[in-house]
């Protein structure tokens, strides 16, 4: 067994609310859920498991938490419904699976993974995605399962902003969850899951399920999961562009991701963030907003989680 440094990073979206909008207990719980999600992925990696399994396990925990805009707690569209997007990519084989506009799949990332394994279509949309998940034996739920009081409030606020022409905060607008990992064999993987942005038009698909835009992984280079207004990431083909900057222009992961978040997208006045890992197990979580739910376990096993500027140290995690 080769001994690549295992590493894992996640984001829970760059649409974090300002600190005073939630109680200290709610912020603490969201950080606990970030750590729980890291733990799920880390347990896979440390026992020699695949990065693909690690990112899926990590994203499932975030989808099940009400704190993040994915799965339970996902954003509502303009028609007061949830339409969920997700993708997963294996950097070793460039295999990928994705669903868009899904309305009944409890854990969209599991459907993306099942599609990757099926190795037929990469992306299924709407009712076909829901049917595929059901046929694959995944749990399907009523659309209302995804709704939380916070998302109802955000939709009300977004509709009010639209009516009055006032600006919405990043936290009111959007969020997403994602994970990237490097496993003991040096294989990279990325996964992303989202409800998109609040009050989005029905049928709108964002960057998250588009391979190369919001989600991308290629062994030897990097794995990336993005968050922020998807239309900008789609135009930039952000995930693939970061990989191209590294593989063709010789940029480091830091340089390529900083350029994407702060120059390519940030200079357009758009909130942006991502998590990424390179082939050496170096992790980054850049963002240009007031906060980004994020966490990582770096190549030394040090675990950190955070929502705003500060990171909370969660100990040095056992690598074996
Ligand atoms: N990228 C997501 C989308 O556009 C939203 C977000 O990350 O905030 O669907």
Query: What's 28's domain CATH number?
Result: 3.60.20.30
Residue 213, ligand 1, Cβ within 6 A:
no
Q: How many CB atoms lie within 10 A of CB 217?
A: 34
The Cα–Cα gap between 266 and 159 comes to: 25
Contact 127, 160 (CB under 8 A): no
Closest by CA position to 268, among listed 243, 244, 239, 235: 235
**Nearest residue CA, atom 4 of ligand 1?**
230
Q: Is residue 316, in this structure, part of any structural domain at all? A: no
Distance between Cα 3 and ligand 1 center (Å): 35
Closest by CA position to 304, among listed 290, 294, 318: 294
pLDDT of residue 1: 46
Residue 71, ligand 1, Cβ within 6 A:
no
Which residues in the chain land under pLDDT 70? 1-3
Q: Is residue 115, in this structure, part of any structural domain at all? A: yes
Q: Is residue 281, in this structure, part of any structural domain at all? A: yes
- Residue among 63, 197, 236 to mutate when testing ligand 1 (max atoms within 8 A of CB): 197
**Is the pTM for the entire model greater than 0.85?**
yes
Residue 199, ligand 1, Cβ within 6 A:
no
Render pLDDT for 241-284 as a digit per residue (tens, 0 to 9): 999 999 999 999 999 999 999 999 999 999 999 999 999 999 99
C-alpha angle 152-204-167 in degrees, rounded to nearest 5: 55
Q: How many domains, in total, are found in the chain?
A: 1
Question: Could you list the residue range(s) of the whole structural domain that residue 180 is in?
Answer: 7-310
C-alpha angle 84-180-11 in degrees, rounded to nearest 5: 60
**Nearest residue CA, atom 7 of ligand 1?**
227
Q: Is residue 128, in this structure, part of any structural domain at all? A: yes
Q: Is residue 1, in this structure, part of any structural domain at all? A: no
């Amino acid at each position: 067994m080769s001994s690549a440094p295992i590493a894992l990073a996640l984001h829970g979206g760059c649409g974090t609310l300002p600190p005073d909008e939630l109680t200290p207990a709610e912020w603490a719980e969201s950080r606990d859920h970030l750590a729980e999600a890291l733990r799920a992925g880390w347990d896979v990696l440390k026992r020699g498991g695949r990065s693909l399994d690690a990112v899926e396990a990590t994203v499932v925990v975030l989808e099940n938490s009400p704190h993040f805009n994915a799965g339970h707690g996902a954003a509502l569209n303009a028609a007061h419904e949830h339409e969920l997007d997700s993708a997963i990519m294996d950097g070793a084989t460039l295999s990928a699976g994705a669903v868009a506009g899904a309305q009944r799949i409890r854990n969209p990332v599991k459907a993306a993974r099942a599609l990757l394994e099926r190795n037929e279509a990469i992306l299924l949309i709407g009712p076909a995605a829901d049917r595929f998940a059901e046929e694959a034996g995944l749990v399907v739920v009523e659309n209302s399962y995804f709704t939380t009081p916070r998302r109802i409030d955000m939709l009300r606020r977004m509709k009010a902003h639209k009516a009055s022409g006032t600006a919405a905060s990043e936290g009111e607008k959007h969020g997403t969850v994602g994970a990237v990992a490097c496993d003991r064999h040096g294989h990279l993987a990325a996964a992303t899951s989202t409800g998109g942005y609040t009050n989005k038009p029905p049928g709108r698909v964002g960057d998250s399920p588009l391979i190369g835009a919001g989600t991308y992984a290629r062994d030897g280079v990097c794995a990336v999961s993005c968050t922020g207004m998807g239309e900008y990431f789609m135009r930039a083909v952000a995930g693939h562009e970061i990989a191209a900057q590294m593989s063709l222009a010789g940029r480091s992961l830091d340089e390529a991701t900083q350029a994407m978040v702060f120059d390519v997208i940030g200079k357009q006045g758009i909130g942006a963030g991502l998590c990424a890992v390179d082939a050496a197990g170096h992790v980054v979580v850049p963002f240009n907003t007031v906060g980004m739910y994020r966490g990582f376990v770096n190549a030394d096993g040090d675990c950190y989680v955070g929502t705003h500027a500060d990171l909370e140290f969660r100990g040095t995690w056992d690598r074996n």
